[in-house]
Amino acid sequence: MGTAKLLLPWPTKTRPHGSVIDAVAAAWRESQVSESFLIVRPDDREIQEQFRCSQMTVVKPSEAPTDMTQSAQIGLRYLEERFSPRPIDGVFLSPSDVPQLTAQVIDSLIEASTVWDPEHASEDKPPKVPHVSQSFAAAKNKEDPSSLPVLSPLFGDHSGHPVLFAYATARRILDLPAGVGIDTLVRGLPRRRVSLPVEWLVEDCDTPAAYQHALTKLRDQS
């Protein structure tokens, strides 16, 4: 479907003329996340224009990424250059074609990240977490941060997005060769699934059929 899918209609009560990417940006903006980055193709001028006044930072590489892995690598390099994250920091990773994403889902994963630092569990609020759409989190741990579990949502029996990494683990994405997906890395890592309500399910709208199915579900819930 290409980049045009991000501009497809996704009307809600608060954004009756909203698009897919409007919904995704709002989810990150309304969550505990402190900063968001959207990786775009250099020729995605309509997306860039739409987000000129947005709170989401648009990262435009000199060459278009060919897949999700390259997009994540671009985001991680941008993060390193701008924020110099510590190994004990973390990263959310999510595609941009997930208009069902909500702040509830994001914040639930942030709450679950207290498994990284049990001492933090007694605090009233979860940590303030930056996101790269492709995204970035903060959590403390006295252990080797590369051994921390990857946190992912489980909606009933269905896996979904986004995924929360410790930064020391996320950095390993930079070493993935061309053509190797992030799933290949994740399969070899310790993992914790966070159970969430099935009605919160977040899936890719990466085909016309998937988009129509999600849009029908949205209208039925309205």
- The CATH code of the domain that includes 133 is 3.90.550.10
DSSP string, 158-174: EE-S-EEEEHHHHGGGG
Asked whether the predicted pLDDT for residue 3 surpasses 70, the reply is: no
Query: pLDDT-based confidence at 135, cuts 50/70/90?
Result: very low
Q: Which segment of 21-30, 113-122, 129-138 scores lowest on mean pLDDT?
A: 129-138
Q: For tokens 């399910």, name the residue.
A: 201
- Identify the residue whose tokens are 């085909």: 207
Please indicate, yes or no, if residue 167 is contained in any of the structural domains: yes
Pick the more confident residue, 81 or 48.
81
Q: Can you give the pTM of this predicted structure?
A: 0.83
C-alpha closest to that of 74 among 132, 156, 154, 141 = 132
Percent of the chain with pLDDT over 90: 46
Amino acid (one-letter) located at 180: V
pLDDT of residue 158: 92
Residue 46 has pLDDT above 90, yes or no: no
Q: Residue 125 — very low, low, confident or very high, per pLDDT cuts 50/70/90?
A: very low
- Residue 73 tokens read as 């690598």
Residues 69-82 have pLDDT tens digits of 999 999 999 999 99
Let me know if residue 1 belongs to a domain.
no
69 in a structural domain: yes
pLDDT band, very low/low/confident/very high, at 112 (cuts 50, 70, 90) = confident
Residues 90, 130: Cα–Cα separation, whole Å: 9
Q: How many CB atoms lie within 10 A of CB 116?
A: 24
**Residue 186 domain-assigned (yes or no):** yes
More confident: 48 or 138: 48
Classify residue 220: in a domain, yes or no: no
Say yes or no to pLDDT of 133 above 50.
no
Would you say residue 146 lies in a domain?
Answer: no
Instruction: Say how many domains are in the chain.
Output: 1
Query: Which domain, by its residues, includes 180?
Result: 8-140+151-214
Averaged over 95-118, what is the pLDDT? 84
